[in-house]
Amino acid sequence: MMQSLPPWKIPLREEIHSLFAGLELKRRPALRRSLLPDYLFATDLPRFAAPAQVAAFSALAESLGWELLLRSEWLNMRKCGLVLPENLLPSFPGSESDCLRILLRRHSGSADSDRAVFLLMKAREEGGPAMEAACRKLHREFAAALRRKEDLPSLGLD
């Protein structure tokens, strides 16, 4: 049975909103979860802002450790090396997340965890069944990696 989770926002949203605040814009840019698995956020800033404003935003974001990728007039953003926020870990609902947690506690490794962290953070913010689906997806991927004798990420669950 799917447990209901309280609303949750990815903590880095406020950092990006503060970068927007430093620009004089006609409207507030949209900030959504990126549709690309290797990125956390996407903004439509390039759709309406002057190139100089986009360049200023990009320079400031990059100085704070953000990596940017422009695709289809959306500026995708990520910060590599993130760890799951402490308040996210205890809230994993359901049997799929229990299986994922057990798998990672027993076989935690040092593989790159960015994609998994981004997936879990975006799923938790989306709410509903997205978190359970993300856990199911990662459990399948990590079990297959173990069968291939590949290292797994730790995700801070060990």
Which pTM value belongs to this model?
0.81
Residues spanned by the domain of 110: 89-147
The 67-71 sheet, strands edge to edge: 31-33, 41-43, 74-78, 67-71
Beta bridge partners of 76: 42, 69
Q: 31: helix, coil or strand?
A: strand
Separation of alpha carbons 147 and 150, rounded Å: 8
Q: Write out pLDDT tens, residues 97-138.
A: 778 878 877 777 777 788 888 998 898 888 778 888 888 899
- Considering the domain architecture, whether residues 31 and 52 belong to the same structural domain is answered as yes
Domain termination residue (choose one: 56, 78, 100): 78
Separation of alpha carbons 38 and 118, rounded Å: 7
- The fraction of the chain above a pLDDT of 70, given in percent, is 88
User: Which pLDDT score is estimated for 154?
Assistant: 74
Q: What angle is formed at CA 85 by the lines to CA 107 and CA 103, rounded to 5 degrees?
A: 15
Closest CA to 139 of 121, 156, 158, 119: 119
User: Which pLDDT score is estimated for 1?
Assistant: 42
How many domains are there within the chain?
2
- The fraction of the chain above a pLDDT of 90, given in percent, is 42
Mean pLDDT for all residues in the chain: 85
Distances in Å between the alpha carbon of 15 and those of 105, 115, 127? 31, 20, 22
Task: Flag whether 70 is in a domain.
Answer: yes
